[in-house]
């Protein structure tokens, strides 16, 4: 990839682009029907600091994002939770994901997090390989639980 990639903290202006990337991720995960919120909701929650994001920009277009928020581990302390990590399909395999991931870990250190945690689908082989390459610990003994309100 010849053009310069810019990695930066997201602003409210980025919410439509971030929403588009999340929709792309939902389609990839075969779960588009699970996406029940819209751009105005993203804007409202972003402005309330419910979540933060780091974006990758190429030629003034957002092509990747890490969406995260701070939480707490009673065993480890401050924890950054990576909610979504996606690079546009046509821009993968060019190092953008690595730049975003590195920026996320740097942000976690800045926020004095003791742990960064996320989920990955077991069938998403490219993502699993990426995380393994980056020395992530992939726990297989915990089951996800949720209640939809």
pLDDT tens per residue, range 76-106: 999 999 999 999 999 998 999 999 999 999 9
Strands 5-9 and 77-87: unpaired
Annotation marks residue 131 as catalytic? yes
Do residues 94 and 128 make contact, with C-beta atoms less than 8 angstroms apart? no
**pLDDT of res. 23:** 97
Do residues 34 and 26 make contact, with C-beta atoms less than 8 angstroms apart? yes
CB atoms within 10 A of CB 49: 9
Residues 30-34: what's their mean pLDDT?
95
Minimal CA–CA distance to 53: which of 16, 89, 98, 18? Answer: 18
* Number of domains within the chain: 1
To the nearest whole percent, how much of the chain has pLDDT over 90?
Answer: 90
Does 24 reside within a domain?
Answer: yes
How are strands ordered across the β-sheet holding 77-87? 5-9, 52-58, 61-73, 77-87, 115-117
Tell me the CATH number at 39: 3.40.630.30
Query: What is the domain range of residue 72?
Result: 5-133
Cross-strand bridge partners of residue 52: 68
Does 73 reside within a domain?
Answer: yes
Q: Please state the pTM of the whole predicted model.
A: 0.94
Does 139 reside within a domain?
Answer: no
Does 120 reside within a domain?
Answer: yes
């Amino acid at each position: 990839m010849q053009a310069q990639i810019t990695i930066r903290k997201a602003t409210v202006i980025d919410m439509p682009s971030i929403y588009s990337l999340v929709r792309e991720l939902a389609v990839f995960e075969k779960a588009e029907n699970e996406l029940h919120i819209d751009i105005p909701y993203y804007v409202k929650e972003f402005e309330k600091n419910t979540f933060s994001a780091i974006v990758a920009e190429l030629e003034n277009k957002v092509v990747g994002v890490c969406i995260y928020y701070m939480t707490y581990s009673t065993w480890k302390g401050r924890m950054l939770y990576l909610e979504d990590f996606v690079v546009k399909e046509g821009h993968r395999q060019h190092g953008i994901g690595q730049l975003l991931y590195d920026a996320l870990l740097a942000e976690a250190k800045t926020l004095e997090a003791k742990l960064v945690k996320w989920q990955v689908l077991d069938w998403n082989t490219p993502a699993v390989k990426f995380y393994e390459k980056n020395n992530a610990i992939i726990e297989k003994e915990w089951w996800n639980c949720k209640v939809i309100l």
